[in-house]
Structure formats: structure tokens, C-alpha cells
Structure 1
Amino acid sequence: MLILILLPMAFLLELSPSEIIGGHEAQPHSRPYMAYLAIWHGNNSSFCGGFLVAKNFVLTAAHCNGDKIIVVLGAHNITKNESSQQVIPVRCQHPHQDYDKESHNNDIMLLELESKASLNGDVGLIPLPVAHQQMPPGNVCSVAGWGRTSAYNNLSSDTLQEADVEVMPDSACPRNRRGIYHDYNPSTMMCVGKKEKGKSSFKGDSGGPLVCQQTAQGIVSWGSEMGTPPAVYTRVSTFIPWIRKTMRMLQP
């Protein structure tokens, strides 16, 4: 176990664009697919979420890239040396070739791990959806992460937080030229979270999965600066051919 990954809170304050607001602490290890990504850009550090889709692959957002990434699997309290944790460096980062950091389009990345995870009760895989499957508005899904729980401070959560969020129609993320959703692309993105409920992913949750009917239908991507829902998720089903092709190409 690499103790250096059990990070002090000072590490956790450098956040990537997207936390759980209005949620609650998850039952420890109830989401064995969850991955915590410790990311370095030179001397600067940040973190993201991700999820295990094969023994040696984690899926996350493309904007969670870095010079170096170390994945922690089997974690609940990320500041503690839990016996359930598996700490595995990333061998190679594979962002989507058409990722656009300005529009957030194609915000998806596969991380190839240096070694295979050991699957057990605390570390497991999550299924991916069928290619181009649509998740109709009104479906209630869930999101989880270690990100900030309020827009009014920089404190992230030591423990995994979760919230139920509703899939919204694309019209709930209107592409008004001056609105925050002007780059919303319904073919590659999902609009998630009812404004009245006040529950959403936020800063630090980027890369984590939107789980609908026990499959990873979305990836936390971007949203409002104040964490007001709806937030925007990468639509995983659109990218199933790319995911499968990339994993086949990299398998020994």
C-alpha cells in the first residue's frame, strides 16, 4: 500500500470542474466500482472520480487528465488507510481523440492501470449500457463522489457521498447563446437533476458515474459554478463502440 496516497486535506482543495450537493454519506463499500483519482500537473494536485469497467481499466472524464494519475479502489474514507483500498498507478491515459476542452464535448477517458485490480466485496466492476441506449427523462438515477458538498466553501468530503438525481429532457439544458448550457450536445451529453430538488454533482465529482438501473449511463462532466442542477453528464452509450475498440486494442 502506498501510504503517500492517503492524502491530507490540503491536497483536496485543488478541484476539477464538477461534488455532491444535497446528498448523504454512502453506505461504506456499497459502490465497489468507485475509483478515486489522485492527479498531478507538475507540482499541482487535484482529484476526480472514476469507475472500474474492467480489471485493468477505469473510465472517467477526459478533463481529469494529468501528468501522473494514481487510482485508489475500494475506498470509503479517502483520508484513512483502509484495508480495503487498492492503490494502482495509471500506465496510460486514453482521452477521446475528439475531446474539446472548450465545449466539454466528448469528455471521456479510459485509464489503463499498471496492474489488474483484485475483485472482491469492496472492489468490483459496473456494467456499461448497450450502445446508443437512451435513458428517458423521469428516470431516477444516482451519482456519488468525494467532491464538495456546498458552493459556499472549498471543503470536499472525506467519505463517499451519494444522491438520487432525475434524468431531465434535453430542453432543461437550453442551448441559449448566453446561457450556461450553450455548448450542450444531446447526442453526447445528458441533462440530469431537477432544479427544484437541489441535488447535483459538483466540483470534485468529475469523472464519476451516473448509475441508472445498475449501469453506468453517464459521467460527471460539467455544470453551473454554484452547483445548481441540472448538471451535464457525458452520455456513455454514445461511446460504447469507442470504449470497446480502445480496450481491445490495449488488451495483451
Structure 2
Amino acid sequence: MLILILLPVAFLLPPGAGAGEIIGGQEAQPHSRPYMAYVNILRGDNSFRCGGFLVSENFALTAAHCKGDKITVYLGAHNIKQQEQSQQKISVLRQIPHRKYNRETFNNDIMLLQLEHKAELNEQVGLIPLPLAHQRVQPGTVCSVAGWGRTNALRKVLPDTLQEVDLKVLDNEACLKYPGGMYRNYNTRTMMCVGDPKEHKASFQGDSGGPLVCGKTAQGVVSWGPDNGSPPRVYARLSTFIPWIQRMMKKLQP
């Protein structure tokens, strides 16, 4: 029954993708995360939302499973139902999913978005630093994630305002040895295991592609997890993809 409840929101996502809702968190201070991007995706006649984050004036990052026919990025947003003066609406010129993204295992679930024009950087719209290549986050580190995804696994209501929650980074064993084989496709090189199973706090429906922020650095990208929204959940490990990100941005830079 739970799966049937979730399908109307996740119908465009791969099974188990979860897309990232904020559970057990709270509303973020308006514009306290100027790097956040609200990502609106069209596929055919249907639309859905993802998260994303600005990494240069004309590039944002999100999850590869957020690919669509057309994508529009909203920067400087807090309440996405209001036409805030701070908002910048920019169409995506190119979607560049990682060439080794696997829709079955969610491996390499990362996508670079080249914007049609440069964002105007100001107090409400800014960049977030990326980690050094192959840098690892120590298990036990408390990081945070934010997005406009659902705040309850049983209710289909989506929030208008940006929500956030603090989450603990776990060691790889927490996912590799999770009962029932839920994480049998977990890849220690490209994925991060995040969220204490003892705490009812997680990302889930509607937040895929948003950043896991540790200190002031983006270290992960919301990717996938159980359909019931329970932790731990899996994030793409950003440091693994730094050489690819730098190569693609240099290649496409106007």
C-alpha cells in the first residue's frame, strides 16, 4: 500500500530512487543556502522536481536520474510558489549525465547542467565549494541536506519552502551489511552511506540531486534509498567525480 501511495510522485523515477524528501527536519532560514537550485524537469506531459546546486556561474550539479526532455533551474529561491525578487529562472542548455550512469544500480548517479546563460551572483545566489578529488568524509561526521521534497512518507503534500536536516555520515559497512540486501548494489568508491537508522531523519521524495554539505563543502549528491523513506540512504560520492566534473566544464565552457 505504501508503494501505491508513493507512485504518483515518483512515477518518473527508477524503482527505489526515492528522489529525496526531507524527513525529520525543519524549514531553512531563507536564502541561508544560496547555492541551492530548484530543478523543474519535464518529461513528455509530466513534470517533477529535483534539487541541485550551483558550482560555477553557468553550471549546476544534480542527479543523473533527474534527466528530462527539458529542465529549468530556479536560483535564489526559498518559497517556490512565490515570485520572489531574488529568484533567477534559467533554462538548461545541456544535460550531461555521467556516461557510466547505471539506471539499474544507480551507480554514477550524477549529472552536470550547463545553463543557457550565467547566473548573477549575489547574496541570494552563490556557489558552493567542491571537495578535493578522492577526499573521504570521516564516518560520524554530521552533515546537512536541504530541498523542497516531501516531508512525510505517507502524505503526498510537497512543501513550498526549503527544508533542511542534519544527517550523520556512516561507514560503508552500515550499507553493505544492511539486512535484506537492500544495498546489494552499493559501491564504496562512488557512493556514501548517510543517515543514522536510529533517527527518523532522511532525504527522500523530491530532493534528488541536492547536495550533502559537510562544513561548507558539497560532499555528496542525494541519490537513492528505501521507498519508505527510512535511513540510511545512498548519496553519490562527489570527490570521486571531481576529475570528470572539471573535464566536462572545461570542455563546454564558452
Shorter chain as normaliser: what TM range?
over 0.9
Structure 2 equivalent of residue 181 of structure 1: 183
Instruction: Tell me the equivalent position of 1:234.
Output: 236
Q: Partner residue of 2:3?
A: none
Residue 14 of structure 1 aligns with which residue?
Answer: 9
The residue number in structure 2 matching 1:38 is: 40
One-letter amino acid matched to 1:44: N
Q: Is the 8 A contact 1:71 1:88 kept in 2?
A: yes
Q: Secondary structure at the match of 1:185?
A: coil
Tell me if 1:107 matches 2:109: yes
Counterpart CA distance in 2 for 1:197 and 1:176 is: 16
The answer as to 2:121 corresponding to 1:126 is no
* Alignment TM-score, normalising by the size of structure 2: 0.92
2:83 to 71, 81, 84: 81
Tell me the percent identity.
62
Unpaired runs of 5+ in structure 2? Answer: 1-7
Question: Retained in 1: the 8 A contact 2:9–2:205?
Answer: no
Q: CA RMSD in A?
A: 1.2
Q: What's the secondary structure of 2:181's corresponding residue?
A: coil
Task: Decide which moves more: 16-25 or 65-74.
Answer: 16-25
Deviation at 1:134, TM superposition (A): 0.4
Residue 62 (structure 1) shift: 0.2
Q: Deviations over 1:129-161 (max 9, x none)?
A: 000000010000000000010111111111000
Count residues in correspondence. Answer: 240
Preserved contact between residue 175 and residue 183 of structure 1 (Cα < 8 Å): no
Q: Which amino acid aligns with 1:229?
A: P
| 1:91-102 map, 5 Å | 91-102=93-104
Unaligned runs of 5+ in 1: 1-12
Q: Are 1:143 and 2:162 counterparts?
A: no
**Cα deviation 1:145-182 (Å, max 9, x = unaligned):** 00010111111111000000000011111257952111
Match of 2:25 in 1: 23
Look up the equivalent residue of 1:42 and give its one-letter code. G
Moved over 6 A (4+): none
Provide the rounded CA distance (Å) in 2 between the counterparts of 1:164 and 1:176.
21
Asked if 1 retains the 8 angstrom alpha-carbon contact of 2:25 and 2:164, the reply is yes
